[in-house]
Homo-oligomer: A and B are copies of this chain.
Amino acid sequence: MALTPARTMPGVLELLPLDQIAFQRMLDVIRRNYERFGFLAIETPVIEFSDVLLTKTGGETERQVYFVQSTGALNAAGKVDEGMPELALRFDLTVPLARYVAEHERDLSFPFRRYQMQKVYRGERAQRGRFREFYQCDIDVIGKDALSVRYDAEIPAVIHSVFRELDIGPFTIHMNNRKLMRGYFESLGVLDAEQQMLVLREVDKLDKRGADYVRDTLTGAAFGLDAEVTAKILAFVQVRSTSLQDALDKLDALGPGPEAMEQGRAELKEVLNLIHAFGVPESAYALNLSIARGLDYYTGTVYETTLNDHPQIGSICSGGRYENLAGQYTKSHLPGVGISIGLTRLYWQLRDAGLIDTAKSTVDVLVTQMDEAQLPAYLALAGELRGAGIATEVVLEGGKLGKQFKYADRAGIRFVIVLGEDEIAKGVVTVKDLRREDQFEVARSELIKTLRVELEQAAAMG
C-alpha cells in the first residue's frame, strides 16, 4: 500500500506532549481563575446552522467561515451538492453565546456569568502566526434588561487575577469608554459613527507611521479635518494615566462635553474607583484613550491588555461592554460585558519570545524494572503512589537500567525509583532525582511523604 504522508493542515498548532502540558497548565490557570470569580462553564457545539452563525450580512467573507457537509450531502457522483451549506464551524464564542442565551433564556439565572474555553475556526490565509484553529477563553456577564456598570469593574479584577497567576511578566489593562470617545469626537464636529471609525483607524497608525503621517492624513483631502481638530484628536488619543488619581484628573481635564461624553466619563470614573475596591493594584491598569476596539459592537467600557516588556505582542486580552447580546435571536434586551483571551496565539508568541519554560512531565515518578521477577512488587509500589495522588509510570518491559533512565530523562520525568532485591530486603527504595543528578535512599514507609515534599518543592520552584 502506498503511504499517505502524515501531516496537519497549515494554521493549526499541534504540540508535542511536554509543550501540550505547558499549554494545558495555562488553560488550567485561566479556568481556575474564572471559576474563582464565580463564572460558570458552558460548552457549545463546534458545528452550528449557518443561518444562526451568519445573521449579519457580509459576515461569512469577513470571518472566513468554514462550511460543513456530511457524507449524506454528497451526490451520486461523490461530489458535494451545490448551494450554501446548511452547517458551519463557529468562528468565535460570542455568536454561540448569544444563541445559547437566547435559546436557554428561561433556564438561566441573570446576571448570567459564563466562561467558555473552546476552539474556534477561521479560514485564514496561511501565514506565520495566523491560526485557523485556536482557543478562545471568554468570560461574559449578561444582564436581563439592564446590567450595572459595576460589572465593568469586575472584569479587570479577573484579568489581573489570571495574568498574575500565569506569571508571564508585568502587564497593563488599558481602559477607555466608547461613549466618552464618541462624545468627544462629536464635540469636535466629527458626528458620523463611520467617519469616527475611519479617523480612529488612521490614529491607530500613530505608533507605526508617526504623528506627522497621521496629521497629514487627517487634514488631507480624504478627511478634511481642521488642524486644530486634528491636534485635539491626537492629544486625546495620547492620554495615558500613571495612577488612579491621575486617571481621574485626566478625565476631568478633558473639559465639559456633550451628553454621551459626560456619560462615558461618569462610567469610567465609577469603574476606575471600583477597580480599586476590587484590590487591583494601580500599576496593573491605566486609562488609555486610544483604545477603540471596533465601533459596531462595543458601546461602553473597552479593554485591552498588554505585556509591559513585550509590547510587540499586542493585546493579549480584549473586550468590553455591549448594549445587546442577542438582538438577532430574541426580543429580550441582554446587555453584557466580557473579554476574550486568544490562548493559542498567546502561547505561540510567548514560546516564540522564549517566555515559556520547557514543561516537566505530568508524570511524577517512573518505577524502573531492575529485576523482572520483582514486577509484582513494582506494581504494588506504583499502586500505592497513585493512591496517594502521585502520577506514576511503571516500566513494564525491562531492559538495561541506563536505557530506562534515559527514557525518563527524555520524557521529562524527574524522579526515578530503583528497587532491587537488596532494597526490598532492607525495606528501602532508591530515588534518583534526574534534575539534580542526585540519588538518595529512603525507607519504603517514608517514600510517599518524601516524594510529596520533593514534588511540592519542585512545583514551588517552577
Residues of A within 8 A of B (CB): 1, 3-9, 12, 14-17, 20-21, 24, 35-38, 40-49, 51-52, 55, 60-61, 63-74, 78-80, 82-85, 87, 89, 98-100, 102-104, 107-109, 111, 113-114, 119, 121, 123, 132-133, 143, 146-148, 150-151, 154, 157, 161, 274, 277-279, 326-331, 361-363, 366, 375-376, 379-380, 383, 386, 389-394, 396-397, 407, 410-411
Contacts and interface: CB of A to CB of B under 8 A. Distances in A.
Contact of A85 (B46, B80, B121, B328): B80
Nearest to A33: B386
B123 A36 contact: no
A411 B109 contact: yes
A9 B48 contact: yes
Nearest to A81: B80
A277 B375 contact: yes
Q: Which 10 A-B pairs have the closest CB atoms?
A: A70-B123, A38-B393, A6-B102, A6-B329, A12-B45, A150-B396, A17-B40, A6-B103, A277-B376, A148-B397
A331 B391 CA distance: 33
A410 B110 CA distance: 10
A326 B72 contact: no
A187 to B, nearest CB: 31
B4 A52 contact: yes
Given A4-B329, A6-B329, A279 B380 contact: yes
B119 A37 contact: no
A186 to B, nearest CB: 26
B392 A36 contact: yes
24 contacts: A5-B52, A6-B99, A8-B45, A14-B100, A15-B42, A16-B108, A20-B41, A35-B391, A37-B391, A38-B394, A40-B362, A47-B66, A47-B121, A63-B71, A64-B72, A65-B71, A66-B71, A67-B74, A69-B69, A79-B82, A79-B83, A80-B80, A80-B83, A109-B407
Given A24-B41, A79-B82, 12 more contacts: A20-B40, A20-B42, A20-B43, A21-B40, A35-B363, A36-B386, A46-B46, A68-B68, A80-B83, A80-B85, A161-B386, A274-B379
Nearest to A79: B82
A329 B2 CA distance: 9
Contact of A15 (B7, B43, B87): B43
A70 B65 contact: yes
Given A52-B6, A329-B4, A67 B69 contact: yes
A380 B277 contact: yes
